[in-house]
């Protein structure tokens, strides 16, 4: 329970229309897409950087946990108030402060939606490459929290590659400005890239300078269908060997294709058991040349058909609905976003299949194959305790498999609380100790999103 003195001080800092104390109002901020529930004791809505400064200093004074939050679309529990305290919702910080096309930059507050950024800069001939499936609902602050990627990261990179600088408030309540307004700059440590992906454990980001990218002149799509996942995986390796590669390369296994067929029966061949969705962008000449080479790279004995598709809108729509569809049939599915080197994808998929058979767990895989970023979904019945225990035993072995293949436990979802028990599989004790020291340098009172990331 929050101290009476803290609540009184809070009332003096925050007007009533930007403060929730009623548990009913706060409950809407108790969960994210991990489907875990941790109600905060109050919710505060800042509008400017100084609001964040004053609140952090107040929380430090009373040793109250403070959890930053965007729109709660994350899947790893990163914005859950596990220790109660204050939920700091940045959803009302929605100003785009500048669109600077000569310098290819946009300055915005963290509550601006990804899709809003795209709509604002598209008429100027630019886009911001991070494009997670939640782009219509997720904020750019949330995208920074986990360094979100998406399908086009294979060509354009993830969020870390498209941010020039930040304004943020540390756990001490100090305002810091990181990076610079230019694309070149090497003064001091790269705190911008450190804060991106830190899941609100070091500082609260209140202003972001994004680096914009010119829209491609044209796009084209290819699809390739295979008789089995192994043939499809071998094609992924061949495709990524091509220097003139794809701008997106998505993999869907047989379970994913069955889900798509259930909603769109005419969209896919009945005999396809694995599929690649390939996008190419550039000039018309570049697209023709790349498409020919990538179609050739798709060829192997397991290929059923490969072709150019002029309109990929329906396929992309079906791809982006896969995760919600899985929630419908398995509300408590275990959703992971592991990554392995591209040439290890065949071994990863073979290993996943063997482990899921061993533990008798239904499994659907899809994802950003060009980065080796596969979304592994273990489908379980939450009321079946034995099945749940087997699923987590299977997951533990899957993470061991990923590390053995020189991979990583998370490509774009972050660690949050869901992967917290497993982080020691990837990071050694000395590295973890240094990270914890960095945490306490930024946040000596350990009030910012406490307990996240580290076991």
427 within some domain: no
306 within some domain: yes
* One domain for residues 258 and 391: yes
Q: CB 245: neighbour CB atoms within 10 A? A: 18
Q: Which pTM does this prediction carry?
A: 0.94
289 within some domain: yes
**How far is 307 from 221, CA to CA, in rounded Å?**
9
**How far is 179 from 221, CA to CA, in rounded Å?**
36
170 within some domain: yes
Angstrom distances, CA of residue 197 to CA of 124, 200, 297, 370: 29, 8, 34, 21
Q: Taking a C-beta distance cutoff of 8 angstroms, is the pair 75, 34 a contact?
A: yes
Report the CATH number that the domain containing residue 23 is assigned in CATH: 3.30.43.10
115's enclosing H/E stretch is helix 114-121
Count how many domains the chain has.
Answer: 3
Domain of residue 111: give its range. 96-214
* One domain for residues 326 and 374: yes
* One domain for residues 340 and 362: yes
* One domain for residues 37 and 151: no
Tens digit of pLDDT per residue, the chain (455 long)?
899 999 999 999 999 999 999 999 999 999 998 889 999 999 999 999 999 999 999 999 999 999 999 999 999 999 999 999 999 999 999 999 999 999 999 999 999 999 999 999 999 999 999 999 899 999 999 999 999 999 999 999 999 999 999 999 999 999 999 999 999 999 999 999 999 999 999 999 999 999 999 999 999 999 999 999 999 999 999 999 999 999 999 999 999 999 888 888 888 899 999 999 999 999 999 999 999 999 999 999 999 999 998 777 877 877 777 777 776 666 678 889 999 999 999 999 999 999 999 999 999 999 999 999 999 999 988 788 999 999 999 999 999 999 999 999 999 999 999 999 999 999 999 999 999 999 999 999 999 999 999 98
SS3 of 368, please?
Answer: strand
Report the CATH number that the domain containing residue 139 is assigned in CATH: 3.30.465.10
Local structure of residue 274 (DSSP, 8 states): E
* One domain for residues 195 and 60: no
431 within some domain: no
* One domain for residues 152 and 263: no
**How far is 224 from 274, CA to CA, in rounded Å?**
8
What are the structure tokens assigned to 89, written together? 């919702």
Q: Which residue intervals of 241-370 are DSSP H helices?
A: 254-263, 284-297, 313-320, 322-329, 345-359
* One domain for residues 60 and 113: no
Report the CATH number that the domain containing residue 303 is assigned in CATH: 3.40.462.10
């Amino acid at each position: 329970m929050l101290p009476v003195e803290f609540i009184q001080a809070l009332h003096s800092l925050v007007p009533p229309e930007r403060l929730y104390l009623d548990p009913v109002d706060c409950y809407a901020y108790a969960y994210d897409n991990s489907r875990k529930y941790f109600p905060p004791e109050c919710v505060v809505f800042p509008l400017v950087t100084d609001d964040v400064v004053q609140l952090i200093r107040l929380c430090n004074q009373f040793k109250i946990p403070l959890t930053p939050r965007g729109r709660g679309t994350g899947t790893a529990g990163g914005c859950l108030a596990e220790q109660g305290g204050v939920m700091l919702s940045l959803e009302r910080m929605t100003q785009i402060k500048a669109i600077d096309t000569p310098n290819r930059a946009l300055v915005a507050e963290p509550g601006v939606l990804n899709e809003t950024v795209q709509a604002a800069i598209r008429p100027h001939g630019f886009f911001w490459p991070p494009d997670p499936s939640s782009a219509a609902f997720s904020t750019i602050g949330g995208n920074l929290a986990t360094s979100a990627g998406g399908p086009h990261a294979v060509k354009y990179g993830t969020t870390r590659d498209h941010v020039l600088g930040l304004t943020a408030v540390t756990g001490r309540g100090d305002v810091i400005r990181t990076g610079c307004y230019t694309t070149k700059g090497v003064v001091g440590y790269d705190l911008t890239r450190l804060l991106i992906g830190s899941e609100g454990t070091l500082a609260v980001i209140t202003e972001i300078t994004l680096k914009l990218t010119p829209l491609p002149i044209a796009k084209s799509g290819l699809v390739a269908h295979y008789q089995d996942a192994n043939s499809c995986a071998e094609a992924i390796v061949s495709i990524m060997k091509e220097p003139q590669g794809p701008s997106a390369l998505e993999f869907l296994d047989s379970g994913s294709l069955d889900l798509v067929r259930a909603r769109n029966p005419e969209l896919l061949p009945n005999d396809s058991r694995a599929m690649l969705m390939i996008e190419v962008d550039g000039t018309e000449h570049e697209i023709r040349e790349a498409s020919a080479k990538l179609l050739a790279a798709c060829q192997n004995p397991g290929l059923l058909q490969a072709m150019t598709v002029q309109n990929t809108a329906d396929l992309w729509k079906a791809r982006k609905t896969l995760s919600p569809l899985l929630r419908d049939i398995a509300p408590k599915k275990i959703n992971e976003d592991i990554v392995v080197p591209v040439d290890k994808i065949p071994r990863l998929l073979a290993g996943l299949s063997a482990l899921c058979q061993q533990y008798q767990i239904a499994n659907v895989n899809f994802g950003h194959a060009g980065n080796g970023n596969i979304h592994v979904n273990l489908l379980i019945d939450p009321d079946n305790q034995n099945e749940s225990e087997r699923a987590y035993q299977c997951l533990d072995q899957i993470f061991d498999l990923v590390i053995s293949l020189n991979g990583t436990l998370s490509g774009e979802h972050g660690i949050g609380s869901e992967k917290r028990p497993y982080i020691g599989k990837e990071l050694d004790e000395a590295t973890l100790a240094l990270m914890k020291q960095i945490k306490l340098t930024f946040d000596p009172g350990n009030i910012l999103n406490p307990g996240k990331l580290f076991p």
